Chain A
Amino acid sequence: MSILELQNVAKVYGRAENQVIALRDINLQVEEGEFAAIVGTSGSGKSTLLNLIGGLDYPTEGKIFIRSRETGSLSRKELTLFRRRNIGFVFQNYSLMPVLNVYDNVALPVTFDRGRHINRKYIEELLRELGIWEKRKKYPGELSGGQQQRVAIARALVNKPQVLLCDEPTGNLDSATTVEVMGLLKASCRKYKQTILMVTHNEAIAQTCDRVIHIEDGQIVTGKRRFPAKGGDGVC
């Protein structure tokens, strides 16, 4: 069953002479539980695609459906709520709140959605699973890159989203930590039946995913699907 569908999506920045076509005619379907990698060179439009899917930016043309709901038809507030409940983000630069400790960083999105009703047991489970429970009182500035990315993953997972969007989550990490983080994402994907879209420019990492989507000059390059939609235990 398709959880995500993009129909003729295009994104253009600027006007007239300064116009830059970031994405054009993107058509894509992603199945539920799929772990897909979006690969492309720098400036190919992969991050833009991820941001459009996540509702952080708006397409110039086309439609995006997530769980059969067209995101373009939602109001700003509905889109925010929809994003909060259905999509989790992991960024390359971690994007943690420097003034909050690990636990509070992870709990932050929950408080936006459920007010003061925080499932602390679940947060503890997440932190333990990600191996950062002992670091829960530490501030981001006191953690290593890998640890910070684990916190970012925990924060992305805390609302139990259906879709996890990861923008180069291993871009700032060394190879050992990269392997760790990828393992965690895959485990999460399996455990919580989540769909993961991960942007990377690292072909090797991409190859460990269920599916690799290649983007070049703002377009999906077809015919490069090398792995079946399901499976892909290469790394884990």
Chain B
Amino acid sequence: MLKLAWKYMRYYKSQTLAIFMSILLTAALLSGISSLMYSSQKNDLANSKTIYGDWHYYVETDAKQLQAIENGERLGRSSQDGQPGQNGETKQGRKTRQGRQSGGGYRLRRYGKYEIRDVVSEEFPIYFIHADETYRQMAHRDLLKGTLPSKEDEIAADSFVLDNLGFSGNPGDSVRIGERNFVVTGILKSRWAADSGEMEIFVSGDFTGRGSQTFLYLGFDEDEKLYRQLDAFLGKYKISSDAVRGNDGVIQYLGGEEPAGIFEIVKFGLTEEEGNFTYIVLKLQSDYNLAYNGMIFLLCLLGSFVVYSVFSISVEKRTSEYGMLKTLGISGGQICGTLILELWTLFLVGYPFGCFLGNGVLSLVYQKFAGVFGGKGTGMAERGLSAADQTLAEGTDAMRFCLSWEAMRFGFVFLLISLAAAALLVVRSLSGRSLKEVMSGDTSFTRRRKIYALRPVNMAGVVVRKFMFANKKKVAGILLSLSVGGCIFLCTTYMAENLKVHAELSLKSDDGLGSEYRVSLKSGSLYDTIPEAAADTIRSMPEAKQVYATRFTFGEVSHVDELEWDTYFEYENADDYFIRRYGGICLPQEDGTYRIKYDVYGYDDEMIEQLDGFTLEGAADPDVLRSGNKIIAVALMDGQGNYYFYGKKPGDTITLRVPRMDAYTDELLRFESGEENYIEKEFEIAAIVSRPLAREEGFLQQGFYKDTLMTSLIMTNDQMEENFGITDYSFINASPAEGADTEKVSSEILEVIRDVPKAVLQDYTAAIRTRKNYLRQQQIFFSSVAAILLAISLFHIANSMNHTILARRREYGIIRAMGITDSGFYKMILQTGILYGVLADVCIFLLYQFVFRRVMDYYMAHVLQFLHLTADVPNQVLLGIMALNVAIAVLAVMAPARKLVRGNIISEITR
């Protein structure tokens, strides 16, 4: 059999090459894209560790419990340290025992202590922390300059904190915090988010504060599932699971939580009221890494489909020979064995080469476009990080390309089995026909009892159509396979276009119009504001442009009578901080209505106009808002990308109450004081939008809720003044003018706000530049992936067309013998190519427009949660793909046609 397989491979060189190329390209695509995604996830993990810290869980603990843990772990370690090498133990034996000894079911790689000894909130909320070396390593709080504090009045902190405390920059100098002076001994590396709510000051063990709250940060072995190790750890030290908080940004990649069973997920999604298809997709994504594993599976499927298609076309040519072999008494099993051997031989050579090629090319692409990867495009909202914050945190370090051995192994096994199945299918199709049929080639076509020549007709055209549609199933299969590549290309382009829009909108909504500078207040009080004069000064700076100053107040929307999403505010309502400060977020009333806390923004006209990109309903027009005293509402969004605003539409009204500023105290934020302390007004809704732009960071959007709780109302700055008498600002966004010295602009703004209490400046210049570069690279990456897919698709089209023509070479020989001229013959073939191309285009258009696009819309809106799906595949791209399809189909048929014309008619018809 091996000899026969080898003979076939050598005899049918072009077919062998086509199959080999399809295997090679499939392997390249599969391994390359999988490694790319794997690298992306690996780097996501590395980035998440940089951002959130290299730890998995923390537990709040007390001195006694801490002592017990320390003793327990020390014991475990000392026994491990003493054992290796003793009694000639094997490495494996030691490893097993280590795991058992360090706690039975877990391996604690390291743990760090973090103790809050005092909090001062006079100027900014400042935490006095005493932490050990391990914690500082875990949190990436490395010492950059100076030394660590060793005396009671010594401190170390990062430059962001120290700058805002007015520190000179030289270790040894002192700063005043609250009532005390401290000597700054060292400067630490900044936290990932320079503007995070808490400012940390590191103190020595001698520092005595007003209290002590201790946390233990845990880092387990990442080769094992974390949730199992945590359970074992908690069990050993009898710690309640309520005391544990996970580092979600990190543990999501490492099995930090026990996954639900696939059957349970699907069952819940289909049978429970809360479940739906999106739930299934999202849950599978979080528990089973659906995007990665699904992509590997789809690529394997696409690859085996392409290889099968190429293979079956190639084998068709030899159908009669297999028929002859059968007449000679060779069994179907032996023929199948020959085919499998042939395919596997090619596969064993092609697959490693393909993997080498795919990984090689894409590792180069990866290094060149490092910014594309590492989750820098989507998913920031879920992590509670703005695009700019994340960029700041991640920096621009080059990332590592990791090989996805798992995908390559899976692909190898999958394709090996698929190829055997392909051979089996071919043999099955042979056995379904009689020997005579097999020997005489393809005779399966629809026989219509119609005489075409009875009417004036172009018989060449009839022959072309007859050839094409002789077997409808076959032609449907060919057209479908021809369309797949084009559809994937269009889908990728569609996603890339929308990703671009999403990224731009995210950047705008995250930090306010993607501005390089943001002046904000480290305060949770409406009393603190930026004076109008300061805003005017920044506006008048020649080197600053697009200066957007935002007025802000905190309000309550009353008389909300419909709350279809009754569990939407469940967590916020249970949050201690919100209850203590605001008396809750969404409060049900006796009359069945609700009162809901809201951020109320006053935007510049230009900012309101820029809300247009986020509009779900109505129109964001500042003049309309002013003239009709209307308001823009930000809709609530659920975890599946659905929007909702209490069933209200533009034209409906809402009642808004805000505290009066003349007798303001923070107590008024609870909205429980006398009516005389509030201003209540009714506003008509002009538009409903999906996101606000520049956002506060001290009221509702705190910490965990930074990007999730966006109950916001927007009006013009003029309306804020007229309705509520607010003239000062809460934050200002600005950009440097073209060609301006950004550092100079930064120091000028700092100068302006120096005398504004609690005002801080965040400089996103580098972050925005990096982000824009990422965005550009993302576009290039997606286009490259689309181009690779298109190239494979075009190769497939060319191969299919080529074989479609060559499969009919005897018939074409007869036609030529009947006296068709060369030009007539070329016209006939051209007609075939055009017809195939056009039909494939129609197929692509219908599949894309009515199937794939809708699936993509759903995926982008509900799974990826893109802000707005406003972008479409550009018409030029759409038309280009269609023209390219026709051109490739034409070229692909003309090449064999030329071969036929050059060939001898007699040898063609005697085939």
Against A, the Cβ 8 Å flags (1 = close, 0 = not) of B813-847 are 11101111111100000000000000000000000
Alpha-carbon gap, A125 to B905, bound state (A):
30
* Pick from A56, A117, A141: contact of B817, CB under 8 Å: A56
* Pick from A97, A116, A136: contact of B456, CB under 8 Å: A116
Which of B447, B453, B454, B909 has the most chain A CB atoms inside 10 A of its CB? Answer: B453
- Are the C-beta atoms of B823 and A95 separated by less than 8 Å? no
Which chain B residue shows the least CB distance to A82? B819
- Given the known A-B contacts A51-B906, A97-B463, A97-B814, are A111 and B822 also in contact in the complex, defined by CB atoms under 8 Å? no
A100 interfacial by beta-carbon distance below 8 Å: yes
- Are the C-beta atoms of B460 and A80 separated by less than 8 Å? no
Interface residue stretch chosen among A101-109, A189-197, A212-220, A222-230: A101-109
Which chain A residue shows the least CB distance to B454? A120
- Are the C-beta atoms of A111 and B457 separated by less than 8 Å? yes
Alpha-carbon gap, A51 to B817, bound state (A):
10
A57 interfacial by beta-carbon distance below 8 Å: yes
- Are the C-beta atoms of A116 and B457 separated by less than 8 Å? yes
Chain B residues within an 8 Å CB radius of A76:
822
- Are the C-beta atoms of B445 and A99 separated by less than 8 Å? yes
Alpha-carbon gap, A116 to B457, bound state (A):
6
Which chain A residue shows the least CB distance to B818? A109
Chain B residues within an 8 Å CB radius of A109:
818-819
Interface residues of B in 441-495 (CB under 8 A from A): 443, 445, 447, 449-454, 456-460, 462-463, 466-467, 470
A93 interfacial by beta-carbon distance below 8 Å: yes
- Are the C-beta atoms of B821 and A103 separated by less than 8 Å? no
B627 interfacial by beta-carbon distance below 8 Å: no
Could you tell me how many residues of chain B have their Cβ less than 8 Å away from some Cβ of chain A?
Answer: 36
Interface residues of A in 53-102 (CB under 8 A from B): 56-57, 76-77, 80-81, 83-85, 89, 91, 93, 95-101
Q: How near does chain A come to B902, taking the closest CB pair, in angstroms?
A: 11
Chain B residues within an 8 Å CB radius of A77:
821-823
Chain A residues within an 8 Å CB radius of B382:
none
- Are the C-beta atoms of B817 and A137 separated by less than 8 Å? no
- Are the C-beta atoms of B466 and A100 separated by less than 8 Å? yes
- Are the C-beta atoms of B463 and A99 separated by less than 8 Å? yes
- Are the C-beta atoms of A104 and B819 separated by less than 8 Å? no
- Are the C-beta atoms of A111 and B458 separated by less than 8 Å? yes
- Are the C-beta atoms of B451 and A104 separated by less than 8 Å? yes
- Are the C-beta atoms of A107 and B453 separated by less than 8 Å? yes
Which of B814, B818, B904 has the most chain A CB atoms inside 10 A of its CB? Answer: B818
Which chain A residue shows the least CB distance to B470? A99
- Given the known A-B contacts A80-B820, A91-B909, are A96 and B814 also in contact in the complex, defined by CB atoms under 8 Å? yes
Could you tell me how many residues of chain A have their Cβ less than 8 Å away from some Cβ of chain B?
Answer: 43
- Are the C-beta atoms of B451 and A137 separated by less than 8 Å? yes
Interface residues of A in 141-162 (CB under 8 A from B): 141-142, 155, 159
Alpha-carbon gap, A100 to B463, bound state (A):
8
- Given the known A-B contacts A97-B463, A111-B453, A111-B457, are A56 and B822 also in contact in the complex, defined by CB atoms under 8 Å? no
- Are the C-beta atoms of A108 and B451 separated by less than 8 Å? no
Alpha-carbon gap, A123 to B459, bound state (A):
15
* Pick from A98, A137, A141: contact of B811, CB under 8 Å: A98
- Are the C-beta atoms of A99 and B466 separated by less than 8 Å? yes
B434 interfacial by beta-carbon distance below 8 Å: no
Which chain A residue shows the least CB distance to B457? A116
Against A, the Cβ 8 Å flags (1 = close, 0 = not) of B111-154 are 00000000000000000000000000000000000000000000
A113 interfacial by beta-carbon distance below 8 Å: yes
Q: How near does chain B come to A224, taking the closest CB pair, in angstroms?
A: 27
- Are the C-beta atoms of B458 and A108 separated by less than 8 Å? no
Alpha-carbon gap, A91 to B453, bound state (A):
23
- Are the C-beta atoms of B459 and A80 separated by less than 8 Å? no
Chain A residues within an 8 Å CB radius of B456:
116-118
Chain B residues within an 8 Å CB radius of A103:
451, 453-454
Chain A residues within an 8 Å CB radius of B822:
76-77, 80
Q: How near does chain B come to A51, taking the closest CB pair, in angstroms?
A: 5
Q: How near does chain B come to A108, taking the closest CB pair, in angstroms?
A: 5
Interface residues of B in 831-883 (CB under 8 A from A): none
Chain A residues within an 8 Å CB radius of B813:
95
- Are the C-beta atoms of A112 and B451 separated by less than 8 Å? no
Which chain B residue shows the least CB distance to A141? B443
B96 interfacial by beta-carbon distance below 8 Å: no
Alpha-carbon gap, A155 to B467, bound state (A):
20
Chain A residues within an 8 Å CB radius of B470:
99
- Given the known A-B contacts A91-B909, A104-B453, are A112 and B458 also in contact in the complex, defined by CB atoms under 8 Å? no
Q: How near does chain A come to B438, taking the closest CB pair, in angstroms?
A: 14
Chain A residues within an 8 Å CB radius of B467:
99
Q: How near does chain A come to B811, taking the closest CB pair, in angstroms?
A: 6
- Are the C-beta atoms of B906 and A108 separated by less than 8 Å? no
* Pick from B445, B450, B819, B906: contact of A112, CB under 8 Å: B819
Alpha-carbon gap, A84 to B456, bound state (A):
20
- Are the C-beta atoms of B819 and A113 separated by less than 8 Å? yes
25 A-B residue pairings within 8 Å (CB atoms): A56-B904, A77-B822, A77-B823, A80-B819, A80-B820, A84-B819, A89-B817, A91-B817, A93-B909, A95-B814, A95-B909, A96-B814, A97-B811, A99-B445, A99-B463, A103-B453, A104-B451, A108-B818, A111-B459, A117-B456, A118-B453, A118-B456, A120-B454, A137-B451, A139-B447
A108-B463, A120-B453 given; name 4 further pairs at CB < 8 Å.
A57-B905, A98-B443, A108-B818, A111-B453
Q: Which 9 A-B pairs have the closest CB atoms?
A: A84-B819, A107-B453, A116-B456, A111-B459, A99-B466, A109-B818, A103-B451, A137-B449, A95-B814
